[in-house]
Amino acid sequence: MPRSASSTLSIDDRLVIAAALDRILYDDPDRFAAEDARTVRRLVPYARSSWLRLGFRAETKGPSMRGEGAGGVGDVHMDGDKKVVEGGVGESTVWRCGQYKITNHGGDLEIWQVMSDEFAEHPKGARLEFDPRGEPERLTFFQPRDIELRIPFTSFAIGVRLGGWQDWKQADGHTPG
C-alpha cells in the first residue's frame, strides 16, 4: 500500500531502497528481481505528478577578451563567464536514497544518479515500469534526442532536448510481449 506524499523516509528505508536499486541496476545485464522492484515501490511514497512536466536549462556566456603579445606571457585569450539557469514545471517530490534520486509516479519509478539529470552531458536515468496489476515489468534508460534550432541571420541557437526511454531489462518471470 503506497504511503501518502507527506510521508518521510527513515534512514533505514533509504538504505534498503539504495541496496535494492543497486541490485536492480547492476546485478544482471538483462534481468532484475521483481521482489526488489516491489520493495522499492512499496517504500517510496507516491507523489502526484502533473500531466505535463517540462524542464529547462539556459546557458549564456559573457564577452571574451583577447590580448596579443602580453609581456612575458604571449598571446592571451579569456572566455567570458558562463551563466546557467535551470527550472521546471510540474515536478514531483524527489527522494534521495544513497546515490539515487527517485520519484514514485504510481505506474513507474523514475531513478536518477544524484549528480545527473536530463540536462547532463551523459544523463544517467532509468525508469522502473509496472503493469496495470502493479507487477514489475521492465527497466528502461533515459536516451535523449537533442535538436538545435538556429535563428536565421543571427548567431543565436536554441537547443531542445527531448526525453526518450529505451528498453534495458525485464523483471524476473515477466516475458516481453
Q: How far from chain centre, in Å, is Cα 145? A: 14
**pLDDT tier at 4 (50, 70, 90 boundaries)?**
very low
**pLDDT reading at 90 higher than 70:** no
- Taking the C-alpha atoms of residue 124 and residue 112, their distance in angstroms, rounded to an integer, is 6
CB distance 104 to 45 below 8 Å:
yes
CA angle 6, 52, 150 (to 5 degrees): 135
Q: What is the DSSP letter of 35?
A: H
At residue 108, the pLDDT reads 92
CB distance 103 to 95 below 8 Å:
yes
* 142 Cβ contact partners less than 8 Å away, ≥ 6 residues apart: 118, 123, 124, 125, 126, 127, 163, 164, 165
CB distance 48 to 67 below 8 Å:
no
Report phi then psi at 123, rounded to 5.
Answer: -65, 140
Q: What is the DSSP letter of 104?
A: E
Block residue for cell numbers 590580448: 67
Please compute the mean of the pLDDT values over residues 35-60 and round it to a whole number: 79
Reported as a single tens digit per residue, the pLDDT across 96-126 is 999 999 999 888 999 998 887 766 777 888 9
**pLDDT reading at 92 higher than 80:** no
- Taking the C-alpha atoms of residue 150 and residue 175, their distance in angstroms, rounded to an integer, is 44
- Taking the C-alpha atoms of residue 32 and residue 21, their distance in angstroms, rounded to an integer, is 10
Please compute the mean of the pLDDT values over residues 1-15 and round it to a whole number: 69
**pLDDT tier at 94 (50, 70, 90 boundaries)?**
confident
Reported as a single tens digit per residue, the pLDDT across 139-157 is 999 988 878 888 888 877 7
Please compute the mean of the pLDDT values over residues 26-51 and round it to a whole number: 90
Report phi then psi at 91, rounded to 5.
Answer: -75, 150
